[in-house]
Amino acid sequence: MSSSYRAFFVGDRSESHALLVRMLEGSDISVDDVVSHDEVIASVARRTPDLIVVSIDVDARSVAGICRVLKANPATVAVPLLALARTVRSRLAAFDAGVDDFLTHQIRRDEFLVRVHGLLRAAASRRQLAAEQLADEVKRREVIRAAFRRYISPKVADHILDNPELRDLVLTGTNARTPAAVMFADMRGFTALSERLAPGEVVGLLNEFFGLLTDVTFEYDGTIFNMAGDSLLVGFGVPVEQADGPQRAMLAARQMLVRFGQLADRWQTTHEIETGLGIGINVGEVIAGNVGSASYMNYTIIGDTVNVAARLAQRARAGELLFSQAVMTSLDGAGMDVEALALPPMVLRGRSNPIDIFCVPSGRRIDFRPH
């Protein structure tokens, strides 16, 4: 009969080895190698067997150490480990060391083969289960990765998936307070655009608009939290902490203004429409979590920091980037000079004191607000 399974014998060519050879003669299991205690790990690394048989007739303490090492080794943790001994004296110590079964020299051949095949079947079942669990986990991770990459840069998505604690935090929607840089980017002139063009053309232009802003956001490892109408909400430093979040937000915003300016020029040529981009940035503490109802949830950020960024974006003219004193303080601390212009303080609803704001204009500014 050809051998279907390979066994390693750990020990010297003693009585236990001779017994093993007799028991396996004519079966579907062959003794593939005989190795000493010192050689077993290196031998397993070269070729993993289906069964490891350990003789514990001598130096039981050393054998117990080898058994524990084999059960701690990822390559052999699922390989059945069988102990052979002349007497039952070391039986408890062997099981304590991690062996899967313990047999003595007095066992009959038919029982020996039944016990060994039982170990092999159990090991095969464990391997199949592990393979299925791994396949399910890989599939689950790919589904999550695909979902994450719709609003998080691939690098940030991979970081979340590789961090179980962070992954669970995002997936379970646990609310968390965290510092972040928040950006709102709004298209100016969208109402006129939507009135002049056919619905299909409007959707096509919006897809171009959001595609451009998404590409820039991901270049700076930002997270997209919301797309609504002609507005985009982006966060930096959430859900993954970024110490340079304000700088990333500033660089991303300036890049958006430049690229959208080019896109707006093309739209003006092809559709005879005039559009622009207004951006607002604020930094501070936000609450991140799943917000919604039992039938619809959205992982997003909320709080006063977000509200201020939204107001700044509303005030910004096309081609302008407005940001708060909190952002300026962060940029100054990082030694980043953006050549900003100080504007008159902005009064916010519900606040008694106005906030200082700053502007970084692009080369083209258009005021779409009614005069």
Pairing type for strands 176-188 and 355-366 reads unpaired
- Burial label, 283 (beta-carbon count in 10 A; 0-12, 13-18, 19+): buried
Q: What is the CATH number of the domain that holds 117?
A: 3.40.50.2300
pLDDT at res. 248: 95
pLDDT at res. 368: 44
10-residue mean pLDDT profile of the chain (371 residues): values are 79 82 89 79 81 78 78 84 87 86 91 92 87 79 62 72 70 73 92 84 91 93 87 90 93 94 91 90 90 71 93 91 94 90 86 87 52 37
Whether this prediction's pTM lies above 0.85 is answered by no
Residue 22 belongs to some domain of the structure: yes
Read off the pLDDT of residues 279-311 as tens digits, 9 standing for 90 and up.
999 999 998 877 777 666 677 889 999 999 999
Residues 209 and 92 occupy one common structural domain: no
pLDDT at res. 220: 94
Range of the domain at 277: 169-366
pLDDT at res. 2: 59
Among 131, 152, 181, where does a domain finish?
131
Read off the pLDDT of residues 27-58 as tens digits, 9 standing for 90 and up.
998 888 888 777 777 787 788 888 988 888 66
- Count of the separate structural domains present in the chain: 2
Residues 74 and 220 occupy one common structural domain: no
Residue 288 belongs to some domain of the structure: yes
Residue 161 belongs to some domain of the structure: no
Residues 199 and 287 occupy one common structural domain: yes
pLDDT at res. 366: 46
Is 189 in contact with 264 (CB distance < 8 Å)?
Answer: no
pLDDT at res. 136: 79
pLDDT at res. 369: 46
Residue 164 belongs to some domain of the structure: no
pLDDT at res. 371: 37
| Of 278, 259, 370, 260, nearest in space to 320 by CA | 278
Please give the backbone phi and psi of residue 183, each rounded to the nearest 5 degrees, phi first.
Answer: -130, 135
Residues 299 and 230 occupy one common structural domain: yes
Residue 81 belongs to some domain of the structure: yes
Residues 123 and 216 occupy one common structural domain: no
- Name the token pair of 191: 């109402």
Residue 158 belongs to some domain of the structure: no
Residue 105 belongs to some domain of the structure: yes
pLDDT at res. 26: 87
pLDDT at res. 146: 63
Residues 195 and 54 occupy one common structural domain: no
Q: What is the CATH number of the domain that holds 241?
A: 3.30.70.1230
- Name the token pair of 320: 């302008």
pLDDT at res. 70: 83
pLDDT at res. 370: 43
79 Cβ contact partners less than 8 Å away, ≥ 6 residues apart: 48, 49, 50, 51, 52, 70, 123
